[in-house]
Amino acid sequence: MNISSATFHDPLWLLLLLALPVIVWLRRRRSIPALVVPGAHEWHSPSATSSALWPIVCAYIGIALLVVGLARPQVLVPLEDHQRRGYDFMIAIDLSTSMYAEDFQRGAQTVNRLQAVKPIISAFINERPDDRIGIVVFGGRAYTFAPLTFDHEWLRKQSARLSIGLIEDGTAIGDAIGVSLRRLREGRSEGQPRQGSFIVLLTDGSSNKGSLDPRQAARLAADEEVVVYTIGAGAEGLVPTPIFDYAGNRTGTEMRESEIDSLLLRDVAESTGGLFFRATDANAVRDAFARIDEAQKIEFAASPPLVSRELFHVFALIGVLLLGLASYEAHFRAAREPAVT
């Protein structure tokens, strides 16, 4: 058994061990009874002192072992043959102001594009506990919102904070792919195979900002064997869009032109071996994530989880046996000794 470390679950019980030396000291301070023997030859018996001492020693050791057992000693043992399998995902999310367009339905309620996408992203994170997932957000620039992580509870909380207007307006698709590639590259361990690394890019517009051309970014992704799935979120043409004043208060709704560069998004996806999806409803976004399940999984160089093994029963059993043995010897010694007259 490969033991990683040993510990106590309730170490405060060990303070009771400090009482044992005090008990020994107090016991030795008592008056020592004289040993009355019928003849001088008894002084030469080598067992007279040792036979009287060992039950006491057994009792002290037994009590000490019971105290250690109460502290719940444990050893931490790594699970053997454990490897985490899954994908590396970077999800790039468009937060430009055009994501305010309200052309998605959630039941009977009309919601904007970001509101429609957020629960799907949350469900995607929730259903893939063995995947490393990170988030990049982009508008006029691209930023890392969350690096690759296995801590999906934290990631879901972070994704709930996504809101339109966090960054400058615009649509920098090439930069979003570039930042995602950088994070995937940093997440790879030494000698890690690259199959199984993906970028899922959600946008509702045409690339109009950024320093990296989207098709050039796609070639970089293809060179690194990273598959890019692109999702064009929303309808084209005139769509209802809320109007806000300078204080951020909604003052009305107007119809605005929406244009998605489907040709660009298709070229980016297909040049990396991915697929392009038109997401005029939430089901199309789910379809994009479902298709990724068909890809090959990879192994991560993650440390195996540690499992605690309780040792309480071992210490308790030996302690009870020693106390029982000491009690047995003390009882029968008294019965064997002749009465002193």
Closest CA to 301 of 195, 211, 192, 141: 192
Helix, strand or coil, per DSSP, at residue 126: helix
Per-residue pLDDT for 220 more than 80? yes
pLDDT in tens, 68-120: 888 888 887 765 544 556 778 899 998 888 888 777 777 777 787 888 888 88
- The three-point CA angle 235-136-212 to 5° equals 80
- Long-range residue pairs from 105-110, CB within 8 A, at least 24 positions apart, any chain: 105/281, 106/282, 110/240
Structure confidence at residue 190 (pLDDT): 44
Q: Which amino acid is at 190?
A: E
Residues 6 or more apart from 195 whose CB is under 8 A from it?
Answer: 225, 295, 296, 298
Looking at residue 212, its amino acid is L
CA dist 282 and 114 (Å) reads: 11
Give the Cα separation of 218 and 174 in Å (integer).
Answer: 8
Which conformational region is residue 273 in: left (phi greater than 0), alpha (psi within -120 to 50 degrees), or beta?
left
Average pLDDT, the chain: 78
Where does the pLDDT of residue 37 fall: very low under 50, low under 70, confident under 90, or very high at 90 and above? very low
What count of residues does the chain have? 341
Q: Is the pLDDT of residue 245 over 60?
A: yes
Q: Which residues pair with 249 in a beta bridge?
A: none
Instruction: Render pLDDT for 193-213 as a digit per residue (tens, 0 to 9).
Output: 445 789 999 988 788 888 899
pTM of the model: 0.61
In the prediction, which pLDDT does 174 show? 94
How many Cα atoms occupy the beta-carbon half-sphere of 327 within 13 Å? 8
Give the up-direction half-sphere exposure of residue 206: CA atoms within 13 A in the CB hemisphere. 9
Using the predicted structure, report yes or no on whether residue 55 has a pLDDT greater than 70: yes
- Band of the pLDDT at 44, cuts 50, 70, 90? very low
pLDDT at 172 over 60: yes
Q: CA 62, CA 58: separation in Å to the nearest integer? A: 6
How does pLDDT run across 120-150, given as a tens digit for each residue? 888 888 888 878 899 999 988 999 999 998 8
Structure tokens at 101: 């367009």
* pLDDT score of 88: 86
Evaluate if residue 322 carries a pLDDT over 80: yes
